[in-house]
Amino acid sequence: MEDGNELIVQRLKKLKELRDAGIEPYGGAFVAEHHAVELHEIAKGMTNERLGGDPFACSLAGRIVAMRDFGKAAFAHIQDETGKIQIYFKRDILGDRFSLLKKLDIGDIVGVRGKLFRTKTNELTVEVEEFSLLTKSLRPLPEKWHGLRDIETRYRQRYVDLIVNPEVREVFAKKSMIIRTVRDFLESYGFIEVETPMMQPIPGGATAKPFKTHHNALGVDLFLRVAPELYLKRLLVGGYERVYELNRNFRNEGISTKHNPEFTMLEFYIAYRDYTFLMAFTEELISSVALKVLGTLTVEYEGRSIDFTPPWPRVPLLEALVRRGVPREALADREKLAAWAGGEGIAVERGMTLGKLLDEIFKEMVEPELIQPTFIIDYPVELSPLARRKADNPDLVERFELFICGREIANAFSELNDPLDQKQRFLAQVRAREQGDEEAHIMDEDFIRALEYGMPPAAGEGIGIDRLVMLLTNSPSIRDVILFPQLKPEQRSDVS
């Protein structure tokens, strides 16, 4: 704590004076029977005459966010999780307790009991009959009008951000509602929620670099999961037909407005269906969530109007590339495609395969233009080692990705359940890894063994919950919808 901060020094002095007077500044429980928003609702149905003649008795607790002292009386605003309400302290009512106000500061948490009334300016107010100091705040809050605006400080000190920026609390309240609505939707279709390991001996289910840790008792290295996919598919083998998991994934990748190394993912699997079923299912899921949470299918996001009304376009990946100018004859020729990409200013790394090159061109030229909800379908096998091949074109797989506002929201495919094909694709991933691709899959012999027992035809999907919340709350960065996003370590001169 910065001892040189005069405001903190003053508060520490008040803290000592309180304790010297026998008042504990960090009190115990206080049973608050009401919240601010509830009292505002109650008062809507009460006339000024009712409030004055037979006032409503109430109790609530919250943080002091404003205070004005008039000598024999004082007004303050306290804020709880629902909002703010004014409170009124009067010497004639409180007697000797009134002197305690001199020891209170903005940021302190108090519990009050009293009665509702309206001031001459018609502001609903609690006339305090008794109050308790529950927590003494030692650090002053940011000034009202200059507030907490520095974006990194807001993320790093989210606890202060939540106090002084009520709209931030609203974002996370909506996130909770979105997750609850997703669960309700899936369970209405007979899905059951399951839990799979966060620490895995073999990271699989996505092309991503994992975080590595070590288990001392077992003497083995483990990995934080990049995806729950291979474990959820094992459950399909075991007889479950509709399962989902809504939990954290961890990927050792860069940090940006769209990426955080720890993020919330929904994955669900349904037996005896394919990716065409999932496209319609995804339209219904996301549009239902938007309608439930926002009451509309038209959402404003960063100045654009996004329409979630189904159906959404379904565009083959290769066709999307041709529409952006890629020569059709180059789609199957790595050298021609590399020459064309270089001419367009797209970096072509040495050793980049045809599939990786197609993916890089797509990310550069197509993805940013996909503003309205759009399914990009039918990917090269190389880019989708866990997906089933298309019957009419074995070089492609039955896969789609959903893009909205130029970013991937969902990834899904008809699941590969042929153990022989799956093993060959894993071996190809192993070779890619040996050549330096750190994101390539590792061979998972137990998963192959599970497939050899027989997995029913199935379709599976992953939806990035944080990115969906970004869209539905008009939040420009993924860090705006993660309470404690990953940041560089704070550089501090003090360690107190």
* Paired tokens of 172: 């996370």
- Note the pLDDT of residue 496: 43
Distance CA 490, CA 187 (A): 42
How many CB atoms lie under 10 A from the CB of residue 296? 11
- Is 142 in contact with 249 (CB distance < 8 Å)? no
What would the pLDDT profile of 371-392 be if each residue is shown by its tens digit?
A: 999 999 999 999 998 999 999 9
The number of angstroms, rounded, from the C-alpha of 313 to the middle of its chain's C-alpha atoms is 26
Residue 142 banded pLDDT, cuts 50, 70, 90 = confident
- Note the pLDDT of residue 313: 98
> Dihedrals φ, ψ of 261, to 5°?
-60, -20
Token pair 């699989």 is found at: 204
- Note the pLDDT of residue 54: 76
Q: What is the mean pLDDT of the chain?
A: 93
Residue 265 banded pLDDT, cuts 50, 70, 90 = very high
- Note the pLDDT of residue 368: 96
- Is 399 in contact with 275 (CB distance < 8 Å)? yes
- Note the pLDDT of residue 423: 95
**495 pLDDT more than 50:** no
Give the rounded percent of residues in the chain with a pLDDT score beyond 90: 82
Instruction: Indicate the angle between helix axes 419-434 and 445-453, nearest 10 degrees.
Output: 170
Give the residue-averaged pLDDT of 303-309.
97
Work out whether strand 374-380 and strand 393-404 pair parallel, antiparallel, or are unpaired: antiparallel
Give the residue-averaged pLDDT of 60-70.
95
- Note the pLDDT of residue 39: 95
Token pair 């096998």 is found at: 381
Sheet holding 220-224, edge to edge: 199-200, 220-224, 212-215
Residue 310 banded pLDDT, cuts 50, 70, 90 = very high
Partners of 78 in the beta sheet? 64, 85
What would the pLDDT profile of 428-453 be if each residue is shown by its tens digit?
A: 888 888 888 877 888 999 999 999 99
